[in-house]
Structure 1
Amino acid sequence: MSSPQASPAASVRADVWLWAARFFKTRSLAKQAIDGGKVQLNDASCKPAKAVSVGDRLRIGRGEERLEVEVLGLSEQRGPAPQAQALYRESEASLAAREAAKAQRKLVGAMAPPMRPDKHARRELRRLKDSM
């Protein structure tokens, strides 16, 4: 029985590889992302059936995340996370940009106004205003 990394095929469909590498939870979501222009293969637009080979570069957009990865292995089956992570290597620039964006979101979240007061807090505010 062969491991998912050692695929006998020289290439795999882009949507299948993205699913197997755990970038998307389902193959359908991977296909939607590709059709929506969120995935580029070797700096060109991509279609779900486009062949992905070892050495290819993918740019993947998931929500606010932007990833740039190099394909190290091929798989048509979704396996455990450690095997999926062995299928690709994220570029240093991509990793640094994601960490910076994460820090920025954390700062913005800390400066966000407090939540809207609930029923009890509104009553306390009313009582406080009435007593003044």
Structure 2
Amino acid sequence: MRVDKYLWCIRYFKTRSIATKACKEGKVRVNDTLIKPSREIYPMDKITVRKNQINYELVVLDTPDNRIGAKLVDIYRKDTTPKEALQKLDLLKYSKDYYRKKGTGRPTKKDRRDIDDWYIDGTNTASEEEE
């Protein structure tokens, strides 16, 4: 089976054309070798897929006839991705949630409190100096 079709069948990519594009861009390796989308894969091949800044590593156990359901994916592949890589994905999620460029969008509730505190502190010191 072609590697792009295999990655689509085991649901690593939503469409086969996206899988083909990933192979052409060098994001897929078989046995640590860059490959073309038409490369045939066989059981016990080691595939490395770079997706969302993570290198997923998997071992081919068997080739499905067609796209399979999510619950059946483990029959056809063994995921050997290191746990550190998956923890890195969690850190990326958290860093994106709490990051907002300064000056973009409305201030958050915390930003508003900080602004209010700054104004109150600034006016208090000015009024105390006058007295």
Q: Which TM-score tier does this pair reach, normalised by the shorter chain?
A: 0.7 to 0.9
Q: Which protein has the bigger helix share? A: 2
Partner of 1:118: 106
CA–CA separation in structure 2 for the residues paired with 1:119 and 1:42: 50
CA apart distance, 1:61: 0.5
Query: Secondary structure in 1 aligned to 2:49?
Result: strand
Instruction: Please tell me whether the aligned partners of residues 14 and 51 of structure 1 are also in contact (alpha carbons under 8 angstroms).
Output: yes
| CA offsets 1:98-127 (integer angstroms, 9 cap, x no match) | 23313433564576468855289799958x
Q: 1:110 to 1:81 in 2, by over 3 A?
A: closer
- The residue aligned with 2:91 is 104
Show structure 2 runs of 5+ residues with no match: 124-131
Deviation at 1:26, TM superposition (A): 0.3
> Could you tell me how far apart the structure 2 residues matched to 1:110 and 1:26 are?
28
Q: TM-score, normalised by structure 1?
A: 0.72
In the alignment, does 2:42 pair up with 1:40? no
Query: Is residue 16 of structure 1 aligned with residue 9 of structure 2?
Result: no
Aligned length: 119
Supply the distance in 2 between the matched residues of 1:77 and 1:43 (Cα, whole angstroms). Answer: 26
Cα pair distance change 1:72/1:107, threshold 3 Å: same
Kindly name which structure, 1 or 2, has the bigger radius of gyration based on alpha carbons. 2
**Aligned position for 1:62:** 51
Sort the Cα spacing of 1:129 and 1:80 in 2 relative to 1 into closer, same or farther, 3 A: same
CA pair 49-106 structure 1, distance change in 2 beyond 3 A: closer
Residue 58 of structure 1 deviates from its aligned partner by 0.3
CA contact (8 A) 1:57 1:71 kept: yes
Q: Per-residue deviation at 1:85?
A: 2.9
- State the secondary structure of the residue aligned to 1:89: strand
Asked if the contact 2:55/2:85 (under 8 Å) is kept, the reply is yes
Residues 54, 89 of structure 2: 8 Å contact kept: no
